[in-house]
Every structure is written in structure tokens, then in C-alpha cells.
Amino acid sequence: MTASITSPPRRGGFTFKQFFVGHDRCGMKVSTDGILLGAWAPLPTTRRILDIGTGSGLLALMLAQRLSPDDAPFKIDAIDIDPDAVSQAQENCDASPWCHNLTVWLQDFLSWEPGPENKYGLVICNPPYFQHGKSYRDAQREKARDSRVLDHQVLLQRVEKLLTDEGLFSLILPVKEAEHFIDYAQRSGWMLAQRCWIQEHEGMSAKRLLLTWCLGSRSVEESRLVIRNQQGDYSREFQSLTKEFYLGH
């Protein structure tokens, strides 16, 4: 899903209410998927966040905005293996009001070691999901979208080592891929904490799932969100979720 936002005054990206996201050098552009995840993911009690595969830095910036009204300090690490994406994410973060809270790293997640004293209250990821791979003309986009680059099983194993005891892991996946992900995660000891079914249009079946996982026992919070109503306008629920970010909401 591609984001539809009021045309920004700056080119090569999107202007949100409190920050600009340039994405012309990234394999993955600003998308509705990313915006939904950034607006929906729960804020952690331990105010350290890791954004895996940050791309343009969108998720890191959205979470920084959501954390910033509180005066308590917070720290967000954003990592990616693409040098161009890291360069652009760094520019986006440096130009934001939260530049001192955000650190962008050119780093492979498989070798990311922040240290035991620096575990995260939230790990967030808009992960690759084309499990069987597809042929893209754009190799940068292929790397960003193909799960052969970051296997979902390995993703879960690595995230488990990085979370605090009460830590959370949030991501978005197409429904079909989410079913496989849920099955493996539950067999591996993860507990589903939140699940939100995303319908692109009213009356259509859900195409995406927003998921939050934890390693402790808890009941699942289930919800459903329709992006556009029958008239083709953004739904009240979608506008309420994204009102702090979209221009015109």
C-alpha cells in the first residue's frame, strides 16, 4: 500500500506535521503500512527502541514524536544494511526535532550487539515478506522486501535476545505471511499481545495484520481497522490513529 498524503512542499519525500521524510534514495518508500505500524505500535515502559531495517527512518521518527511529549529521556537506535538508506535516514533524523534521541547505524541486524545493559523495551520492524522471492528491477528494493535477506525465524531468535523481560516486538505483515509467522512464533514460546486486522476498504477482507508480541503470558487484544470507507475517504478510525502525523487530519 502506498501512502496518499497532501502534496508536500519539499520534493523526494513526504512532509508530516512535525518532520519531513526524504525517501528518494531508499529501496522502500514511505508507505501506509509503515505509517500504520508507527502510529499503532505500543509505547514501551523501557524507553529504548530498536528499529530494524529503518530505510528512510520513518518508524524511528514516528516513535520519537510519540515519545517526545513526555519529558522522560528516550533513545531510539535505527539500523539498516543499505548505505544509501542509512545516509538518508541520518539526514532525516538530523533535521528532526529529536536528533539527539535518534542514532542511525549502518549495521547488519544479525551482528547487532548493543550490550546486556542496553536491552530494548520495544523492537519494531516493517519486515521483508516475499518468502519465495520475486524478481525486481531495483536490487535495492529487492533487498528491502525479500525475506531471504532476513529470515523470519532468525528475526525472532535475534529479537528475543535484545528485549527486556517486559519488552515488546511489533511488526506488520500480509495476512498469508502473518499466518506462517504466528505459527512459528507461538511454537517458539512467543505470546501474541495485540493483533489488528487491516482492511484497505470497507467490505473487503483484511490484507494486513499488525502484530505485537511478548515473552510473558497475557491476553490478546484484538481489533480491526478499515482504511477507507465506502465513499473512498479515510475512515474515522484511520484518521484518529494517524491524526498526529498526516497533514490535513
For 223-239, how does the pLDDT look when each residue is reduced to its tens digit (9 = 90+)?
Answer: 999 999 999 999 999 99
The confidence band for 136, taking pLDDT boundaries of 50, 70 and 90, is: very low
Is residue 3 within 8 Å of residue 35, measured between CB atoms? yes
Percent of the chain residues past pLDDT 90, beyond the cut: 74
Q: CA torsion angle for 172, 174, 180, 182 (degrees, to 10)? A: 40
Domain boundaries of the chain, sorted by first residue: 13-242
Between the alpha carbon of residue 216 and those of residues 154, 166, 184, 210, the distances in Å are 20, 7, 16, 19
Cell of 185: 512464533
Q: Which overall architecture, per CATH, does domain 13-242 show?
A: 3-Layer(aba) Sandwich (3.40)
Give me the DSSP letters along 126-194.
Answer: -----TT----S-HHHHHHH-TTSS-HHHHHHHHHHHEEEEEEEEEEEEHHHHHHHHHHHHHTT-EEEE
pTM assigned to the model = 0.88
Task: Compare 139 and 174 and report the one with higher pLDDT.
Answer: 174
- State which H helix or E strand residue 40 sits in: helix 32-40
If you search the block for the grid coordinates 548493543, which residue do you land on? 114
Between the alpha carbon of residue 19 and those of residues 44, 150, 248, the distances in Å are 22, 29, 14
CB under 8 Å to 139, separation ≥6 — which residues?
none
Distance CA 225, CA 235 (A): 9
**What does the angle CA 83 – CA 22 – CA 62 come to, to the nearest 5 degrees?**
95
Distance CA 150, CA 239 (A): 32
- Averaged pLDDT of the chain: 87
**How confident is the model at residue 117, as a pLDDT?**
78
For 170-209, how does the pLDDT look when each residue is reduced to its tens digit (9 = 90+)?
Answer: 999 999 999 999 999 999 999 999 999 999 999 999 999 9
Cell of 40: 499503532
